[in-house]
A and B are shown apart, each in its own frame.
Chain A
Amino acid sequence: MDPKPTPTAGPGPNVGPGPNAGPGPNAGPGPEVLRCRGLRKEFGGQVVLDGLDLTVAEHQVVALIGASGSGKSTLLRCVNLLEELHDGTIELDGEEISAPGIDPDKVRRRIGMVFQSYNLFPHLSVLDNVTLAPRRVHRRSRAEAETRARELLDRVGLAAKADAYPDRLSGGQQQRVAIVRALANSPRLLLLDEVTSALDPELVGEVLTMIRDLKAEGMTMVLATHEMGFAREVADQVCFLDAGRVVESGPPEQVLAHPTQPRTRQFLARIIEANRL
C-alpha cells in the first residue's frame, strides 16, 4: 500500500502559506451535482460545521478525511437533510434543497445514504429491505421492485441471501446489502459515512470492491473514510476537514502526498504512525 512513503513528517519545503493552494475543486468533468456553501451546524453551542464549502461534479468521487469530530458525518447528514442547518445553502443539481418549503422526503429520494452501522431493518428480509423504498416511495409494483432488487443483489454476489434476515449475514454482507438498498432508489448522489469502520479487517475488501465498481459505473459519491489508501485510489478529490471547515482539498496525490497545510500534515503523520496509510 505504500510504494513511496509520503513526505509528511516534519515541515516540507512546499509549505504554501495561503489556504487551498491546490487546484480548485471543480476540476472534475460534467455539471455540478452538489454545491454546499457556508454550511454551519452547532450542537448545543459547539460548532461542528463552520462555514464549510464543498462542490461535487457528476461522476466525481469526493473523499472526506479528517479526525473524528471534524464534521465529516455531520456534513453528510446535513446534505441528506437529516440535520437542521444553522447557516449556508445546499444545492442539488442547481436546486436549493436547503430552502424553506422544500419537502425533505422528496429530496432524500434523490440521495442515497449508507451508514457506518449498516442500519438494515432487522425485521425485514434482505429482499424486503431493498424493495421497501422502491415500493413505498416510488410506487413500483412488488414484482418490478423485486426483479430489480434481485438483479442488484446478483451483481454483488448476494443473490443467494435475498430471503435471509440481516442478523444471518456477516458485517461485510450487511453493508453491501445496505449499499444495494440505497442504490435501489437510483440515487443521483450516494453518501457513504465511514462504511467500513465497523467491519472486521478481512471484510473491508469486499465493500471497497463494491465502491470501486460503482465508481467505474459513474456513480457520483461523497464518502467519509479513514481508509487513506482507498481514498487515494478511488477519489478524484480529497477534502481534509478540520474543526468544521475544508482545510485543504485537491487530487489525492496532492493532498495525501504533498499536503500544504500544517494541520493536514499533522493528521497524516498521525495516521502513518498508526500504520494505516
Chain B
Amino acid sequence: MSTVLHDPSPAQQARTAYRRRQTVLSVLIAAASTAAVGTLLAVTVTGAPGWDRVQQTFLDPQLARDALPQVLTGLWLNVRLLVCCAIGALLLGLLIAVLRTLRGPVFFPIRALAAGYTYAFRGLPLIIVLYLLTFGVPGLRLQGTPSVLVLGGLALILTYAGYLAEVFRAGIESVHPSQLAAARSLGLTHRQTMRHVVLPQALRRVAPPLLNDVVALQKDVGLVSLAGPIDAVRAAQIASAQTFNYTPYIVAGVLFVLLAIPLIAVTDQVTLRAARRQSGG
C-alpha cells in the first residue's frame, strides 16, 4: 500500500466520518459497561455481610507469604511431572494413532489393540487408573518397582495418550486421499508416505487441540498427590490445615494461572498461525 494522493469523494468522506463516530461510540459504550459491571461486583462482594470474614480466611497477606515457599516447592513437582507426562503422552498417543492407520490383515491385532486402548483409557476415570497403578502395582511387591511418583506419572500418560491419540487420528484422517495417491504414485512406501507426507500435514493441523489438552493435563498432574507425593495443591492443603485459613489455596491457584498463561499464549499463537495458513496467507 503506497501512499497515493487521492482526494476522497464526498461520499467516501461521509462514510469515513460515520465510521469514526461509530468507533468512538462503541469504545465509550464498552468503557461505561465495564466500569458499571466492575463497580457492581466490587460493591456486592465487599459490601456483603460476611466480607470481613472471607477476606481474613482467603486473603491474608502474611499467611500468603508464609505458605509461598512450600507451595512453590510443590509447584516444582507439578512442572516436572507436566513436562515428562506431556512428552510421554504425546509420543504414546502418536504411536497409537499411527498403529490404527496400519492396513492389511497382519496388523489386525495391533489395530484392534490400539482401538481398544483409546476406548478403555478414555472411558476410565483418571483417579481409578491412578489408584490401580500407585497402590496396585507396589502391592505386587515385584523387584524394581518404580517409585509412586513414576507410577502416578505413568497413569497420567496412559490416560492422556488415549485422548491425544484420537486428536492425532483426526489429523491423519484430515489429510486428503489425493495426497496419499500422489505420494504412492511416486513410489513412496506406506511408511514413507506417513512420515514425509501425511504426518507433517496432520501435526500442523492438530497442534492447537493438542496443546489445549496439554493445558488440561497441567491441572490433572496434581492428582498424583492422592498417592502421596506433595504437589502445589497438596502443599497448600497442608499449610491451610495448620492455620485453619484458605489463603494458601489462593496462592496455589494464582501460581497455576501464572503457569498456564505462557502455555495458553503459545496455543493461541499456534492456532492463529494455523488459521492464517488455512486462509492462504
Question: Which residue of chain B is the closest to A118 with respect to CB atoms?
Answer: B182
Query: At the interface with chain B, which of A39-47, A104-112, A146-154?
Result: A104-112
Using Cβ atoms and an 8 Å threshold, which residues of chain B touch A104? 184
Determine which of A82, A106, A123, A182 lies in contact with B181 in the assembled complex, contact meaning CB atoms within 8 Å.
A82
A119 at the interface (CB under 8 A from B): yes
Q: How far is the CA of A82 from the CA of B188 in the complex (A)?
A: 12
Within 8 A of B (CB), among A74-130: 77, 80, 82, 104-106, 108-109, 111-113, 115, 117, 119-123
Interface contact A121-B188, CB-CB below 8 Å: no
Question: Which residue of chain A is the closest to B182 with respect to CB atoms?
Answer: A119
Query: At the interface with chain B, which of A132-140, A210-218, A220-228, A238-246?
Result: A132-140
B185 at the interface (CB under 8 A from A): yes
The B contact surface, by secondary structure, is: helix
Interface magnitude class on chain B:
10 to 19
Using Cβ atoms and an 8 Å threshold, which residues of chain B touch A109? 186-187
A144 at the interface (CB under 8 A from B): no
A181 at the interface (CB under 8 A from B): yes
B178 at the interface (CB under 8 A from A): yes
Interface contact A119-B179, CB-CB below 8 Å: yes
Interface contact B178-A123, CB-CB below 8 Å: no
Shortest Cβ distance from residue B103 to the other chain A in the assembled complex, whole angstroms:
12
A237 at the interface (CB under 8 A from B): no
Interface centre among B189, B200, B201, B280 (most CB of A within 10 A): B189
Shortest Cβ distance from residue A110 to the other chain B in the assembled complex, whole angstroms:
8
- Number of A interface residues at 8 Å Cβ cutoff, please give it: 26
Interface centre among A108, A136, A182 (most CB of B within 10 A): A136
Interface contact B187-A185, CB-CB below 8 Å: yes
Shortest Cβ distance from residue B175 to the other chain A in the assembled complex, whole angstroms:
10
Shortest Cβ distance from residue B176 to the other chain A in the assembled complex, whole angstroms:
8
Interface contact B200-A123, CB-CB below 8 Å: yes
Shortest Cβ distance from residue B61 to the other chain A in the assembled complex, whole angstroms:
52
B15 at the interface (CB under 8 A from A): no
Shortest Cβ distance from residue B201 to the other chain A in the assembled complex, whole angstroms:
5
Using Cβ atoms and an 8 Å threshold, which residues of chain A touch B197? 121, 132
Question: Which residue of chain B is the closest to A110 with respect to CB atoms?
Answer: B187
Q: How far is the CA of A24 from the CA of B280 in the complex (A)?
A: 50
A163 at the interface (CB under 8 A from B): no
Determine which of A115, A136, A167 lies in contact with B280 in the assembled complex, contact meaning CB atoms within 8 Å.
A167
Using Cβ atoms and an 8 Å threshold, which residues of chain A touch B196? 132, 136
Determine which of B182, B188, B201 lies in contact with A115 in the assembled complex, contact meaning CB atoms within 8 Å.
B182
Q: How far is the CA of A48 from the CA of B202 in the complex (A)?
A: 33
Q: Contacts A121-B197, A136-B192 given: A105-B181 contact, CB under 8 Å?
A: no
Q: How far is the CA of A123 from the CA of B185 in the complex (A)?
A: 18
Shortest Cβ distance from residue B186 to the other chain A in the assembled complex, whole angstroms:
4
Using Cβ atoms and an 8 Å threshold, which residues of chain A touch B189? 105
Chain B positions within 8 Å of A, measured between CB atoms, are 178-179, 181-189, 192, 196-197, 200-201, 204, 280
8 tightest Cβ-Cβ pairs between the two chains A and B: A109-B187, A119-B182, A133-B186, A113-B185, A137-B187, A108-B187, A119-B178, A123-B200
Chain A positions within 8 Å of B, measured between CB atoms, are 77, 80, 82, 104-106, 108-109, 111-113, 115, 117, 119-123, 132-133, 136-137, 167, 181-182, 185
